[in-house]
């Protein structure tokens, strides 16, 4: 999504499912909530990155994208890269939850 902010990313996510008008109203509502919060708490505006929602729940994003590829007729296999496997080792060599670790597509067969 490039260097767009979170509001532009929200609009583009919603326009696919709800249409232009509803997406514009939803983003307008978000802007009103942001303005209210800024005025109420007297704080500066900090824009979230356009990838904020993808990074917030990485596992759900991975599952959604895998399901979409499978619906398009592809076979997908996810595997953690070796560098991430080594970094995921916690205390006593126990492995962290896979949901907290980045994945990469190993196989994509049409």
Using alpha carbons only, how large is the chain's radius of gyration in Å? 19
- Are 87 and 102 in a shared domain? yes
Q: Which of 20, 37, 56 is the last residue of a domain?
A: 56
Residue ending a domain, among 40, 56, 72, is 56
Confidence check: pLDDT of 96 > 80: no
**Is it the case that residue 86 has pLDDT exceeding 80?**
no
d(CA 98, CA 91): 16
Residues 50 and 63 in one domain: no
Mean pLDDT of 20-43: 94
The verdict on 34 and 78 lying in the same domain is: no
Mean pLDDT along residues 5-30 = 92
> Does pTM surpass 0.85?
no
- Mean pLDDT for 89-94 is 43
* Residue 49 sits in the same domain as residue 73: no
CA 20 – CA 49 distance, rounded (Å): 22
What mean pLDDT value characterizes the chain? 75
Structure tokens at 87: 């970094």
Name the residue range of residue 97's domain.
Answer: 58-110
CA–CA gap between residue 33 and residue 97 (Å, rounded): 35
> What is the count of structural domains for the chain?
2
Where does the pLDDT of residue 9 fall: very low under 50, low under 70, confident under 90, or very high at 90 and above? confident
Shared domain for 45 and 89, answered yes or no, is no
Judgement on whether residues 17 and 41 belong to the same structural domain of the protein:
yes
């Amino acid at each position: 999504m490039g260097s767009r902010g979170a509001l532009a990313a929200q609009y583009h996510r919603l326009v696919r499912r709800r249409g232009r008008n509803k997406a514009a109203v939803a983003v307008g509502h978000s802007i009103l909530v942001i303005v209210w919060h800024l005025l109420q708490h007297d704080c500066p505006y900090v824009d979230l990155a356009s990838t904020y929602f993808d990074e917030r729940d990485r596992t759900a994003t991975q599952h959604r994208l895998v399901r979409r590829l499978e619906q398009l007729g592809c076979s997908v296999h996810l595997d953690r890269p070796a560098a991430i496997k080594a970094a995921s080792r916690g205390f006593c060599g126990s492995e962290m939850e896979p949901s907290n670790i980045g994945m990469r597509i190993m196989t994509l067969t049409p």
